[in-house]
Amino acid sequence: MPFRIIATVFLSFAALLLLCSCDGQVNERSHPLFVKAQNLRNQDNYADAVKYYEEYLLINPKSARTHSELATLYDDQMDDPLMAVYHYRQYLKYEPESSEVETIGKWLKAAEKKYYLKLKESYQNSKVEDFTTHRREKAVASAPVKEQTSEAVSDTPPPEPSKEEKTVSMDVQPKSKINMKFYIVKERDTLQRIASVIYGNSKYYKLIYKANEDILPSETRLIPGQKLRIPPLPSE
């Protein structure tokens, strides 16, 4: 009986130590689930990488490192700014004293802006489409047959402007001056993440790459401390 009691106490103590170690972030890089997620991410298998990161969070929900990895995955590769915002906030919650707080804060604001613009665009398109459909249905229902016929004739598109008119209209447009900015690469930066911070949308990362092809070996290899040229958006 004493032996069983001692064994039970020992096993309980061991289990407690295991739970404590899981709660911290010391061993997360060596945990099989985290390692598997990292390997899948390096292989560009982002969907499965997310799955293993999430499984690891079930064991260690306070892992700021894992929240950071998920946030950048959702932000840069999955185009899901809402999930990116959630995991950026979780990182800041569990690592408020981290040296990366300022950088993560900027990425968070960029992801929030991206989500806002995405949501705004979705609602605007929906409202415009509903309004146009409603207006057409109302016009068709209220117009007499003869008016509908005349409307059908009037729907013929107007003739295109002559080449001279096009030339004049193109010449009148003012030419914008190139306003080149610069950005210093930070640890764990990617072109997509930089585009999110500068432009509010990661899809413009190729603009940055093309402006720096002479110093960047590829789109994925950035060196902390590099000075990148940041071109204006085409519409600017």
Tens of pLDDT, residue by residue over 90-146, are 999 999 999 999 999 999 999 999 999 988 887 776 555 555 565 566 555 555 544
Residue 3 and residue 210: Cα distance in Å, rounded? 71
Number of structural domains in the chain: 2
Tell me which of 46 and 169 has the higher pLDDT.
46
Q: Quick check: 203 and 226 in contact, CB under 8 A?
A: no
Of 49, 76, 110, the position where a domain reaches its end is 110
Residue indicated by tokens 């982002």: 46
Consecutive H or E run containing 232: none
Asked whether the predicted pLDDT for residue 58 surpasses 60, the reply is yes
Residue-wise pLDDT for 29-48, tens only, equals: 899 999 999 999 999 999 99
Would you give the DSSP letter of residue 61? T
Asked if residue 207 belongs to a domain, the reply is yes
| Residue (of 46, 68, 47) closest to 57 by Cα position | 68
- Strand-strand pairing, 181-184 and 227-230: antiparallel
Give whole-number Cα distances, 203 to 72, 176, 218, in Å.
14, 22, 17
Asked whether the predicted pLDDT for residue 198 surpasses 70, the reply is yes
Range(s) of the domain holding residue 219: 181-230
Of 110, 145, 161, the position where a domain reaches its end is 110
Residue-wise pLDDT for 216-231, tens only, equals: 888 878 888 888 999 9
Residue 53 is predicted with a pLDDT of: 95
Asked if residue 84 belongs to a domain, the reply is yes
Of 82, 110, 138, the position where a domain reaches its end is 110
Specify which residues 182 forms β-bridges with: 229
Asked if residue 146 belongs to a domain, the reply is no
Q: Quick check: 219 and 191 in contact, CB under 8 A?
A: yes
Percentage of the chain modeled with pLDDT above 70: 65
Residue 65 pLDDT level (bands cut at 50, 70, 90): very high
Asked if residue 135 belongs to a domain, the reply is no
Asked if residue 144 belongs to a domain, the reply is no
Amino acid in position 83 = M
pTM value?
A: 0.51
Mean pLDDT of 20-35: 71
Mean per-residue pLDDT of the chain: 76
